[in-house]
Chain A
Amino acid sequence: MSAAAQGTSKAAHSDVAPKKKKGPGALATAYLVIYNVVMTAGWLVIAVGLVRAYLARGSYHGLYYSIEKPLKFFQTGALLELALISGIVPSSVVLTGFQVMSRVFLTWAVTHSVREVQNEDSVLLFVAAWTVTEIIRYSFYTFSLLNHLPYLIKWARYTFFIVLYPMGVSGELLTIYAALPYVQKSGLYSVTLPNKYNFSFDYYTFLILVMISYIPLFPQLYFHMIRQRKKVLGHTEDYSKVE
């Protein structure tokens, strides 16, 4: 699922922290800035990779292969974010953790594991959504930490999700759906009875349950972001543009 909502509490923390308490110390801030700059750069690399591949091939198909490695690297790298946040805003670790896990799940357990779906256009759909979201999000954090947040970035972070979030979710669902027949046929990641540990697991059913779970979860996250948007962008008359 798109991690658009993931940074909300972190953003709220960045907005609120200077007012409530001292916030992260100088060293922690340095680490965070480095992390966010690296992530912004990483996702820019992916974006550029996609554009160049498109221009070279002249079509939207099969672009996944051109950015496969940086996508895996930087999306998995987001796990580091959990360790960083848990030291600073422990309360948001659960929500963020959930988001990161779902992204990592899609990257490795679906797209990487089921080769046959890598050519699907739905993959491009979510990769594009993730790329734009993450570039904006990580640059938002970078600028926030440096206390020089351009209003444009803030606006983009709280507005683009309106389109990108459904776009990402559609891409993810279509990809999982495309993977289903191959998983069923090959018995991927599945364990059947009888066996020594008296356990069974059907990955095919599991994927279907994952898809169903989007139904209650996606609206909650989406409307959470919409509420955040009203809060953050609604008071521009009251506060100065640079945080």
Chain B
Amino acid sequence: MSICLPLFFSAGTERIYLLPSTTMSRTTFFEVEIIDAKTKEQLCFLDKVDPHSTIGDIKNLFYKSYPQWYPARQALRLDPKGKLLKDNEILQNLPVGTTATMYFKDLGPQLGWTTVFFAEYIGALLTYLVFFFRVPYVYSHTYAFTSSSHPVVTFACVCHTLHYMKRLMETIFVHRFSHGTMPLRAIVKNCAYYWGFSAWLAYYINHPLYTPPSYGELQVNYALFTFVMCEMGNLSIHISLRNLKVDGLRVRKFPMPTKNPFTWLFFFVSCPNYTYEVGAWMSFTVMTQCLPVAIYTLFGFIQMSIWAKGKHKAYLREFKDYPSVRMAIIPLIF
């Protein structure tokens, strides 16, 4: 048991000692001092902290005295410029004496990953539909609520919509997020990216002056097929990544190909989910023969390559027996 005392009442430090009502085995209780990283003023002093407490527990205690700073907003460090302490780290395992000093920084309003993904994907999905249904004021008024005569435009709408519905389903049922939250500014930036590009692509594909692909039905059907294959591939990888974390043990392992042929891409790359994602968008580009889609695909490819490279390096660092033939995102290339 401990009490956190916000120190704006008096100059002296009030400490209340609570005697445990039951005889506990010989445990040295810790004291935790929380200091504002910027102003260096002492915000809180925690007494009788169980050494087995985690950082998460400490954040909860701090939250009791400062209800505006819920745990997800708290950044605690042992040194103002040091590494962020993780919620699952245990107090007695930290390099501190029995009195620990921690520096606090407010990370600002936080949003859960699920909320962020929802906002991004629903926005992208609905924005596209605004253009597909030719809502008034988007195109010239003679075209309001008309529909395109080209089948490919309908296919494109179905593909785009299903793509984001799949992502929403995955967010709810498949993905497991390691970091709980993301700062508010990030959601604004991310939504601008997704919604903005969705609008830009949709504007051209659903435009009354849209020109269908040069090689006609052959091009559309072929691209549609590869699009579906890549979506299935991407989903397979997401599911196999989820299954990696099922056993709940601390055993860390890297993903391996399974019986599902789509996962065989793991023989060649560390992040086949990104490979399939690029494949899907390339298919969409070919299917619609639309330069803005190609540009969007390129941006996505660049971003995903950076992520894939990072993940690949992390795997190499962590696992000594990591297959050397594997590349990050493009088989045999990089």
Contacts of B292 in A (CB 8 A): 198-199
CB pair B290 A197 closer than 8 Å: yes
Residue-by-residue, is A186-230 near B (CB-CB < 8 Å gives 1, otherwise 0)? Answer: 000000011111111000000000000000000000000000000
A interface: dominant SS: loop
Bound together, the chains give a CA A198 to CA B291 distance in angstroms of 6
Closest to B210 in A: A198
- Does B209 make an interface contact (CB < 8 A)? yes
Shortest CB–CB separation between residue B216 and chain A, in angstroms?
A: 13
Residue-by-residue, is B288-303 near A (CB-CB < 8 Å gives 1, otherwise 0)? Answer: 1111100000000000
Bound together, the chains give a CA A76 to CA B6 distance in angstroms of 60
CB pair B209 A194 closer than 8 Å: yes
- Does B205 make an interface contact (CB < 8 A)? yes
Number of interchain pairs (Cβ within 8 Å): 29
CB pair B211 A196 closer than 8 Å: yes
Residue-by-residue, is B201-214 near A (CB-CB < 8 Å gives 1, otherwise 0)? Answer: 00011010111001
Shortest CB–CB separation between residue A209 and chain B, in angstroms?
A: 14
CB pair B204 A198 closer than 8 Å: yes
Bound together, the chains give a CA A194 to CA B210 distance in angstroms of 6
Closest to B211 in A: A194
Bound together, the chains give a CA A211 to CA B210 distance in angstroms of 31
Shortest CB–CB separation between residue B215 and chain A, in angstroms?
A: 11
- Which residues of chain B from 52 to 78 have any CB-CB distance to chain A below 8 Å in the complex? none
Contacts of A196 in B (CB 8 A): 211, 214, 289
Bound together, the chains give a CA A10 to CA B290 distance in angstroms of 42
Bound together, the chains give a CA A28 to CA B204 distance in angstroms of 49
Q: Which of A193, A196, A198, A200 has the most CB of B within 10 A?
A: A198
Shortest CB–CB separation between residue B124 and chain A, in angstroms?
A: 19
CB pair B211 A195 closer than 8 Å: yes
CB pair B214 A193 closer than 8 Å: no
Shortest CB–CB separation between residue B138 and chain A, in angstroms?
A: 14
Residue-by-residue, is B271-293 near A (CB-CB < 8 Å gives 1, otherwise 0)? Answer: 00000000000000000111110
Contacts of B209 in A (CB 8 A): 193-194
Bound together, the chains give a CA A198 to CA B290 distance in angstroms of 5
Closest to A199 in B: B291
Shortest CB–CB separation between residue B190 and chain A, in angstroms?
A: 20
Contacts of B211 in A (CB 8 A): 194-196, 198
Closest to B288 in A: A198
Bound together, the chains give a CA A200 to CA B201 distance in angstroms of 11
Contacts of A195 in B (CB 8 A): 211
Bound together, the chains give a CA A195 to CA B212 distance in angstroms of 10
CB pair A199 B214 closer than 8 Å: no
Shortest CB–CB separation between residue B131 and chain A, in angstroms?
A: 13
Bound together, the chains give a CA A199 to CA B209 distance in angstroms of 10
Closest to B294 in A: A197
Closest to A193 in B: B209
Closest to A196 in B: B211
Contacts of B207 in A (CB 8 A): 193, 198
Contacts of A198 in B (CB 8 A): 204-205, 207, 210-211, 288-292
Contacts of B291 in A (CB 8 A): 197-199
Bound together, the chains give a CA A199 to CA B294 distance in angstroms of 11
Shortest CB–CB separation between residue B209 and chain A, in angstroms?
A: 4
Bound together, the chains give a CA A145 to CA B211 distance in angstroms of 57
Contacts of B210 in A (CB 8 A): 193-194, 198
- Which residues of chain A from 145 to 188 have any CB-CB distance to chain B below 8 Å in the complex? none
Bound together, the chains give a CA A200 to CA B204 distance in angstroms of 8
Contacts of B214 in A (CB 8 A): 196
Contacts of B288 in A (CB 8 A): 198
- Which residues of chain B from 180 to 229 have any CB-CB distance to chain A below 8 Å in the complex? 204-205, 207, 209-211, 214
Shortest CB–CB separation between residue A136 and chain B, in angstroms?
A: 36
Closest to A201 in B: B291
- Which residues of chain A from 72 to 98 have any CB-CB distance to chain B below 8 Å in the complex? none
Shortest CB–CB separation between residue A236 and chain B, in angstroms?
A: 30
Q: Which of B205, B211, B289 has the most CB of A within 10 A?
A: B211
Shortest CB–CB separation between residue B295 and chain A, in angstroms?
A: 9
Shortest CB–CB separation between residue A186 and chain B, in angstroms?
A: 22
Shortest CB–CB separation between residue A107 and chain B, in angstroms?
A: 26
Shortest CB–CB separation between residue B132 and chain A, in angstroms?
A: 15
Bound together, the chains give a CA A138 to CA B288 distance in angstroms of 50
Contacts of B204 in A (CB 8 A): 193, 198-200
Closest to A191 in B: B291
User: A199 and B290 in contact (CB under 8 A), knowing A193-B209, A194-B209?
Assistant: yes
Contacts of A199 in B (CB 8 A): 204, 290-292
Bound together, the chains give a CA A153 to CA B292 distance in angstroms of 48
Nearest 10 interchain pairs by C-beta: A199-B291, A194-B209, A193-B209, A198-B290, A197-B291, A198-B204, A194-B211, A196-B211, A198-B210, A198-B211
5 contacts between A and B (CB under 8 A): A193-B209, A194-B210, A195-B211, A196-B211, A197-B291
Given contacts A193-B209, A194-B209, A198-B211, 13 further A-B contacts (CB under 8 A): A193-B204, A193-B207, A193-B210, A195-B211, A196-B214, A196-B289, A197-B290, A198-B205, A198-B288, A198-B292, A199-B204, A199-B290, A199-B292
